[in-house]
Structure 1
Amino acid sequence: MTWPPQRLDAPDPATYSPRQQEIHDQIASGPRGGVRGPLAVWLHRPELAARAQDLGRYCRYDTSLDQRLSELAILVTGRVFGSEYEWQIHRGHALTAGLEPEIIEAVRRNRRPDFPDAETEVVHDVARAAHEKRELDDALYARAIAVLGEGRLVDLVGLLGYYTLISLTINIFRIPPIGEGDAELSDG
């Protein structure tokens, strides 16, 4: 597939300000191991990059949700936004975290998966409702509290907000998938 040209490339490292270099080095030395995609574009505004990467580190690595559930929420976000880069990056993370391939494929195709447990189902349902309806009805909210508890629901909402920022950055600045591979979300 031919992707439209990226609208805003990352700043040229040769022209980094001292603050851009500092933030770049902080991100690159952390668990992400590099500065790519949305994080690289955010370096145009190093304070945004610094604060967003701190929030992202919490949402990705330090949340009270187990990684399998976090990756499901991220995939749902990427699917709803049609964000190929996000999908490409997190599909592999989801598999590594133990998310069932059948669930990943159902999300990719915009179909409701069969769920092995109540936690997986409620994370999926909250993520879809949050992005599609911009709220949770009383029944879903009550189910989410009963299944996840207040703290994990707060973390889930924070994660959904952060990955919405990621998706918007990817889509608005047209960040293509790595290697500009085939679209996986177009036939959903």
Structure 2
Amino acid sequence: MTQSNPPRLPAFDVAHATPEQKAVLDEILAGPRGNLNGPFLGWIHSPELAQHAQRLGAFCRYRTGLPLRLSELAILVTAACWQAQAEWYIHYPIALQAGVPEVLAQQIRTGAEPHFEDPDDALIHAFVTELYDTKRVSDETYARTMTRFGREVTVNLVGLLGYYAFVAMTLNVFEMRAERQNTLPFAE
């Protein structure tokens, strides 16, 4: 996106929101996120989609059964895979605060070979990158993930990846940036 391009979606004006849009916005603001940063102001142009997506997102972000560090690591790998500027910008500080080593995060962002100190980080990275790179997960990685996290959390991990790929696609197609974002983590 060059700065001279017009926005792909019109700016959303809460004063002109429909009752359905207001209901979605109110639910997002009252929930664990507490803000509209990310894809929500894109999705709000389709309030029913926005409602379903934000509810799925709240589950995928906060209730997968994975520790926050591992969820955020999976989100960073997704953001890097899609080169989703706002997704990385929003989740990078959350990931660091949750315990993802800064060196690891930067290796993921730049496409360098990551080095892992924690075996769970290595396993999540292997699962995510195999799925994105080959559109499958090997029997070995699947078995290790099931043994370590169990069936429900493994299913939830796939849901988290699908959700954040959806977020990345939304942000990329509509050229959305995070609030106050003035740097781009990926070249355009």
TM over 0.5: yes
Mark the CA change 1:131 to 1:6 in structure 2 (over 3 Å): closer, same or farther.
Answer: farther
Unaligned stretches of 5+ in structure 1?
A: none
Distance 2:133 2:171 in 1: 19
Number of residue pairs matched?
A: 187
Distance 1:139 1:150 in 2: 15
In the TM superposition, 1:12-161 aligns within 5 A as 12-161=13-162
Query: 1:124–1:49: structure 2 CA closer, same or farther, 3 Å change rule?
Result: same
In 2: Cα distance, 1:137 partner to 1:10 partner: 43
The one-letter amino acid paired with 1:41 is G
Separation in structure 2 between the aligned mates of residue 142 and residue 161 of structure 1, nearest angstrom:
20
Distance, in Å, in 2 between the alignment partners of 1:86 and 1:52 is: 15
The CA RMSD over aligned residues, in Å, is 1.8
1:177 Cα deviation from its structure 2 partner: 3.9
Give identity over the alignment, percent: 39
Once the 2 structures are TM-superposed, how far is the Cα of residue 184 of structure 1 from its aligned partner? 1.5
The change in CA–CA distance for 1:66 and 1:150 in structure 2 (over 3 A counts) is: same
3-state SS of paired residue (2:180): helix
Distance 1:99 1:180, change over 3 A: closer
TM-score (ref. length: structure 2): 0.92
Distance 1:75 1:5, change over 3 A: farther
Deviation at residue 180 of structure 1 after TM alignment: 4.1
SS at match of 1:178: coil
Q: Compare 126-135 and 47-56 and name the one that shifted more.
A: 126-135
Give the aligned residue type for 1:73.
Answer: A
Letter in 2 for 1:64: G
Cα distance, 1:168 vs. partner?
0.4
Query: Structure 1 residue 2: deviation in Å?
Result: 5.2
| Structure 2 alignment gaps of length 5 or more | none
